[in-house]
Chain A
Amino acid sequence: MRRLLPDRLLPYAMVSPYLIYLSVFIAFPVAFSIWLTFHKWNIIGEPVAVGFDNYVRLVQDRLFWLSIFNTLKFLLLHIPLQIAVALGLAVLLDKPIRGRAFFRGAYFLPVIVSGVVVTILWQQLLATDGGVINRLLTGIGLGRVGWLVDPDVAMYAIAVMATWKNVGLYVILFLAGLQSVPEHYYEAARLEGANAWQQFRFVTLPAINPTFFAVVVLSTIGGFSLFIEPYVLTGGGPLNSTLSAVLYIYKQAFQYYHMGYAATLGLAFSMLILGVVAIQQRFIESDDDA
C-alpha cells in the first residue's frame, strides 16, 4: 500500500470506505431531505421551489401536531412501563431461579418475531367482539373494552402491545448492567444493615445508571419511531387517535407523494427527538453525577 500511495494520502485511503458510506447513505440523504423541504415534489415530476411554504403548512397542520401529541401519549405509558417491566424481569432473571435460561430466551422471543406477525396476533387478542381479552373480561362479569376502536383507549392498548414486543431487548441490557455491579458493594451495604429494597435503591440503581440511560434513550427513540403497530392494527384510527408522527410522515410521502412536505415533517420530528434526548441526557446523567 505504501508503495502505491504517498504517505499523506494513506490515512484517507484507509478511512475511505467509511467516508463513501457516510457520503452516500447519510450525508447525501440528509442534505437532499433538507433541500426537499423547500420544494414541492411528487417523485415523478420535476421538483418546484416553494420557499418556506412547507414550513408554514407544518405550523398550521392540525394533524401533524395531533400526531406528535399521540406519539407523546404513547411514550408516556410505553417508556415507564417498559423500564419497570424490563427492570423487574431482569432482577428476577438475575437470581438463581429454575429455568432461568429458558425464561431469558422466552422474553427475548417477541423481539425477533416480525412486528407484523406480532401485531396480527394482538389483533386477535384485542378485538372488541370475540377478542380473547374481552372474552375473559365478560367471562368474569366485566364489560367489554373497545381496545382498538375506542379513541380514548386505542393508543394505550398499542403501548402495552409494543412493550410486550420490545421488553426482551431491554431485559437483556438490564441483565448485563446488573451483572456488572460488583458483589462487594452489596456486601458493604449488608454490613451497614441495608435491607433488600435499600440495596436495590442505593446500590443497584446508581450502579446501573449508564444502562438505565441507554435504555431510556433507546426506548425513547424506538417509541418515537412507532409505525408498524398503528399501521397494521388501526391505520392511525379511530379518529386519528393512533396516528403516530412516523405514520403521518409515511402517509404524506407514500400515499399522497408529498415528498417535500414529508421531508419537512421528518426534519421537524428529528429536531424534536434530538431535543427530548438532550433533556433526558441532562437529567439522567446529572443524577449520576450527584
Chain B
Amino acid sequence: MLGVATFACGGDRDRDADTLTLWTSNNPPEITTADWAVQRFRESGGKAEAQPVPEGQSSEEVILAAVVGGTTPDIYANMWQGSVALYAEAHVLVALDTLDGFLPWLTARCTPETIAEVTAPDGHIYQVPWKVNPIRMSYRVDAFPEGAPRTYDEYLAAAKRLQADQSGDGYVDTYVGYTSPRTIWYERLFNFYPLYLAATAGAPLVADGKAAFDRPEAVAVFAFLRKLYADNYFTRDRLDAQGDPFLSRKIASKWTGPWDISYLERYAPADLKYDFAAMLVPNRNTDSLPPYTYADPKNIVIFNTCPNAQEAWDFLANGMLSLEGDLQLLTRSNQLPRRADLLTNPAFSDYFRQNPRMVPFAEQARRIAGVTHEPLIIEVLDVISQEYEACVLFGMKTPEAAIHDAAEAVNVILRADNPT
C-alpha cells in the first residue's frame, strides 16, 4: 500500500524529462495565453505543456507543497514577488542571471528601478518581472462633484459631506470609501502600503536589514486612516460578504486594481458613473506623473527541479515574454506587462485606443513598486497590520507610537533571523 502511495505521489516526476511543464494561475485568460505560448514552442520543435496550478486552498500553499514534495513544475508563472525571497533563500529557484540571454532581455525591457527591485541581496535575480496590476482609487463621479480628490484633506472634506443620514434610520447612507478591516497581513498591501508608497515616492519598508518605515510620511498615513475610522467615514464592518457596496452605492470609492474595469463595465448599473484616480497623498504635488503606488506584481520563476533551465528560459523569452506574448496577456486579461515601453511601443497602441480606461493604469505603471526582497516580508506586514489595528481601527495608540512600535518589532524579528 505504501509502495503504491509513494509511486502515485511521485507520478509527476515520471513525465517526459524533455517536456517543459508550466503552471499558470487558474485565470482562464492566462491559461489561454500559456496555451498559445506552448503551441508556439511546439511548432518550433520544442516539447512543453501548460496547466493551471492544481486546486488548493491557495496557489501559495500548492506551490509550497510542491516545493516540499519535490514536484514543482519547471516554470511557475504567477508568483507573488514577496514569496520569491523565501524560495530563493531555500535554493529552490534558478538564478536567471546565469542563463544566456536573460540580462540583455531584462535591461532592454525594464527600468533600472524594476531591475533593482527584483535583484536579491546576493546579486542574483530569481524572478522575471512579468505583470503588474497597479492599485488606484475607483470613485463614483456623482459623489465627488469637484473631481477626484487628490489629497487627504480633499478626501476628508468629501467624506464629511457624504456622511449624511438622509433616510433617518440612524445609519450612514454613504461611506466615502471602504477597505478591508481584516488584520491579515496581505490586506495592508491594498490600503496602508499604496498610501505609504504614494507619500514616500516609493520608499521601501525594509532596507539594509532594518525597518525603514519609521518616518513622518508613514505616521501621516496612519493618522489619515485613523481619522477615517474615528469619524465614521469608513466602517469597521466587513462588507465583502454583503454584495458589492460600490455597486449598491453604500460607498463612494475604493482602492482597487485594473481588474475592476471589466468588472464594473459588466455589472455597474447604467446610471452609475465611475472613474479612476491616483492614490491619495498628504499634499498636492506638481509632478506630471501620478504618485507611486503598489504594483501588485506577479512574476515568473524557474525551479531548480527543471533539468534544462536554459531551454525553459528560451521558451519564456520566445513565447510568454516576447512582445507578442505581452500583447496576448494584455488583450486577453487586461493585466499590464511590466515593461518600460508600454505606452510608447506601437504594438500596444491599438489596445490602449480601444481600452482608454487602461491608459491611466499604464501611466501609473511608471510609478509603481513591489515589495522588498525579504524572506520575512510577511511577518513585517503582519507586524504593521497589528499596529494598524490598534491605531487605525481602534484608536488605542497614536500614529507615532504605532509606527515606531512596528518598526521596533520588525527590527527584533529581522535581527533574530540574522543575528550577525
Contact = CB atoms under 8 A, between A and B. Distances in A.
A128 B237 contact: yes
Contacts of A130: 171, 237, 242
A255 B235 contact: no
Contacts of B236: 128, 146, 149, 238
Interface string B229-256: 0000001111001100000000000000
A145 B42 CA distance: 62
B396 A239 contact: yes
Nearest to A128: B237
A256 B379 contact: yes
Interface residues of A, number: 29
B183 A45 contact: no
Given A238-B389, A256-B378, A124 B183 contact: no
Contact of A43 (B68, B182, B396): B68
Interface in B165-187: 169-172, 181-185
Contacts of A124: 241-242
A236 interface: yes
Contacts of B1: 20
Interface string A111-134: 000000000100110011111000
Nearest to A44: B90
A257 interface: yes
A110 interface: no
A237 interface: yes
B183 A235 contact: yes
Contacts of A256: 378-379, 382
A138 B393 contact: no
A129 B172 contact: yes
Interface in B110-160: none
Interface string A126-167: 011111000000100000001011010000000000000000
A24 B6 CA distance: 13
B103 interface: no
A238 B393 contact: yes
A19 B322 CA distance: 56
A257 B68 CA distance: 12
Contacts of B363: none
Nearest to B92: A44
10 contacts: A42-B86, A42-B90, A43-B64, A44-B87, A148-B238, A149-B237, A235-B182, A237-B183, A238-B236, A238-B393
